[in-house]
Chains A and B, each alone.
Chain A
Amino acid sequence: MKRIIFLISICLFTFNWGKAWSLIEVDITRGNLNPLPLAVSPLSVDQNSKEKFKDLLKLEDIGAEISKVVENNLRQSGLFNPLDPKAFLQKPDIAHVKPRFEDWALIKAQALITGEVKIVDEKLRVEFRLWDVLAGKEIMALAFTTVSENWRRVGHIITDKVYQRLTGEKGYFDTRIIYVAEEGLKTSRIKKLAIMDQDGFNTKYLTLGNELVLTPRFNPTNQMVTYLSYFKNLPRVYLLDIETGIQEVVGDFPGMTFAPRFSPDGKKIIMSFAKDGNSDIYTMDLESREVEKITNHPSIDTSPSYSPDGKYICFNSDRSGYQQIYVMRSDGSKVKRISFGNGLYGTPVWSPRGDLIAFTKLHKGKFYIGVMRTDGTGERLLTENYYQEAPSWSPNGRVLIFYRETKSDSAGKGFSAKLWSIDLTGYNERMVKTETDASDPSWSSLLTD
């Protein structure tokens, strides 16, 4: 895949947007049943720029298109209620310079986003402002420049800035999802690695489907992916450079390696190696190629995931007789079981905030996605379904993406696999649109921080 050159220069042209005097605030720690009504005014574009963008991108009105990206992101977050642009009274160019707050208050908007797009030296320059309608004040203003093909990302970055300003936490919109695209019969499913923007756009397929591929995961800089491939019918962990397309086997193991993830510094891959009916956890240093055995137990040890500081590892083991979640130090010492509820537990994954572990739970024929503290206390089940598993955290630790499968009849009819997301609060459960059936999602970090 071609490297996306992202030249971005953010210049703050006002500095007076400290949190101290803001009136609007969105609390994301609780389920939000009253999303904040706000207006995303279409970004204004001068006639000359409009024509040029039309030639370059085949878009009728780039300003309106970017605004739609922002609007859709904000709606999907569940925290905001973007109002219908048909109700807007003020023209975009005038609103951006000096909004008539009474007009926006009239349609019940509490916040307003305005902006302007221009072509400058063949690049796309955007400037946007966030306004507090009730206080009648500008609370944020930013401008940045990028290559025009990145216009959707412009919308994502604006959303991240607005989200951060109004919630006090970083956003998760300028991100990608890597997943497994699925097609065909259940008994001979064809699977490919696919990557897309967080909102389901710009899907690209990274493998052709000639061999079975599973469980892709990003490295911290989002340039590399580690995954399981059955290339030549030898299930092994692979490393793929998204930029160059170069793939390589990780390590030289005389058997199946699987369940890979990167360490938080991106220098190691942690995974399971199965031999003679026993799976243990290993790491391999990507530079020195040194392999280290982390667990040594005759039971199944798999699904390892590092804590964000790299000091601990949570993993899945059936050493107690059944699948449970354990935590240990990253050298393999001080192994401690943390899941004690009813049922089986799998796929533990450490939150990027460090305080929680998300998991899949199987109990009485139902599958749950849940979270618990890292010592196992405070278990909270977010969603119950016929089949779902493999949660992955948004980079701000507020949303989980996972996949869900439906029941099929004896002929295999009715089967589907789709990506879903849910807030940590247990609210805002949504299907994430994908071109094909999909599974094993993994969320990238923010592409521009």
Chain B
Amino acid sequence: MGLNKIFRNTLLVFFASILLSACAVKTTGKMQGDVYTGKDTVEYLASGVPDRVFFATNETVLTTASRETLRKQASWLRKNSKINVVLEGHADERGTREYNLALGERRANAAKDYLMTYGISGNRISVISYGKERPVDSGSNPLAWSKNRRSVTVKAN
């Protein structure tokens, strides 16, 4: 896990924010663009610390809201230094199974890298991808898919 990676990630986040601000994303109900912004499925690691972040279709870039959530997780993890976490990466059902496994892994790692840049040791974080195997919403519609494109931080101990 080199600096290289962290640098790449920061760059990605930087470009993403430019992109997001540039193309005046449409906000409709519980989605911004096609990233879920609602709270329906969100659980809390502690008061005010949401457990999950959401992604756009085929994307692994963290949104502004996702980064805010992860900073809250990082600060909670710093205070609770004995807690380890598993980051579970998921994809929606509109993709091929094998690619989605890789995509879920990449999403969970995007979250992991961000937690690490906020001082959480990589040793405390493990990553697992479920691809499209474990949706939280079983609907076949854009809102359901947006809830399923996620990385969920789960206590490991």
Q: Are B138 and A215 in contact (CB under 8 A)?
A: no
Query: Which residues of chain A are near B109, meaning CB under 8 Å?
Result: 276-277
With A233-B128, A256-B128, A274-B129 as given contacts, are A412 and B93 in contact (CB-CB < 8 Å)? Answer: no
- Contact code string B125-140 (vs A, CB < 8 Å = 1, else 0): 0011100011111111
A276 to B89, CA, bound (A): 12
- B5 in complex: contacting residue of A276, A303, A408, CB < 8 Å: A276
A250 CB, min distance to chain B CBs, angstroms: 16
A350 to B103, CA, bound (A): 23
Q: Are B60 and A277 in contact (CB under 8 A)?
A: yes
- Contact code string A175-212 (vs B, CB < 8 Å = 1, else 0): 00000000001111100000000000000000000001
Q: Are B96 and A390 in contact (CB under 8 A)?
A: yes
A277 to B140, CA, bound (A): 27
Q: Does B97 reach chain A (CB closer than 8 Å)?
A: yes
Q: Are B138 and A187 in contact (CB under 8 A)?
A: yes
Query: Which residues of chain B are near A405, meaning CB under 8 Å?
Result: 93
Smallest CB gap from A272: residue in B: B102
- Chain A interface size band reads 35 or more
Q: Does A246 reach chain B (CB closer than 8 Å)?
A: no
- Contact code string B1-45 (vs A, CB < 8 Å = 1, else 0): 100010010000000000000000000000000000000000000
Q: Are B98 and A303 in contact (CB under 8 A)?
A: yes
Of A256, A318, A390, A411, chain B has the most CB atoms within 10 Å of the CB of A256
A110 to B141, CA, bound (A): 52
Chain A residues numbered 250-287 whose CB sits less than 8 Å from any CB in chain B: 255-256, 258-259, 272, 274, 276-279
Query: Which residues of chain A are near B102, meaning CB under 8 Å?
Result: 258, 272, 274, 279, 300, 302
Q: Are B96 and A258 in contact (CB under 8 A)?
A: no
Q: Are A256 and B101 in contact (CB under 8 A)?
A: yes
Query: Which residues of chain A are near B141, meaning CB under 8 Å?
Result: 410
Query: Which residues of chain B are near A440, meaning CB under 8 Å?
Result: 97
Q: Does A115 reach chain B (CB closer than 8 Å)?
A: no
B60 CB, min distance to chain A CBs, angstroms: 7
Q: Are B98 and A407 in contact (CB under 8 A)?
A: no
Q: Does B51 reach chain A (CB closer than 8 Å)?
A: no
A276 to B139, CA, bound (A): 30
- B138 in complex: contacting residue of A185, A316, A365, A386, CB < 8 Å: A185
B6 CB, min distance to chain A CBs, angstroms: 11
Smallest CB gap from A274: residue in B: B105
With A259-B98, A360-B96 as given contacts, are A189 and B105 in contact (CB-CB < 8 Å)? Answer: no
Q: Are B94 and A408 in contact (CB under 8 A)?
A: no
A279 to B98, CA, bound (A): 11
- Partner-A contacts on B (CB < 8 A): 1, 5, 8, 58, 60, 93-99, 101-103, 105-106, 108-110, 113, 127-129, 133-141, 144
Task: Given A235-B101, A390-B96, A412-B139, output 20 extra A-B contacts at Cβ < 8 Å.
Answer: A189-B133, A272-B101, A274-B101, A274-B102, A276-B5, A277-B60, A277-B105, A277-B108, A277-B110, A279-B105, A300-B103, A302-B99, A303-B98, A322-B58, A323-B96, A346-B96, A362-B95, A365-B94, A387-B93, A387-B94
12 A-B pairs with CB atoms under 8 Å apart are: A187-B136, A228-B101, A233-B128, A235-B128, A274-B105, A277-B105, A277-B113, A279-B106, A302-B98, A322-B58, A389-B97, A390-B97
- Partner-B contacts on A (CB < 8 A): 185-189, 212, 214-215, 228, 233, 235, 255-256, 258-259, 272, 274, 276-279, 298, 300, 302-303, 316, 318, 322-323, 344, 346-347, 360, 362, 365, 386-387, 389-390, 405, 407-412, 415, 439-440
The 9 closest A-B pairs by CB, nearest first: A412-B138, A277-B109, A346-B96, A186-B138, A410-B139, A279-B102, A407-B140, A300-B102, A259-B98
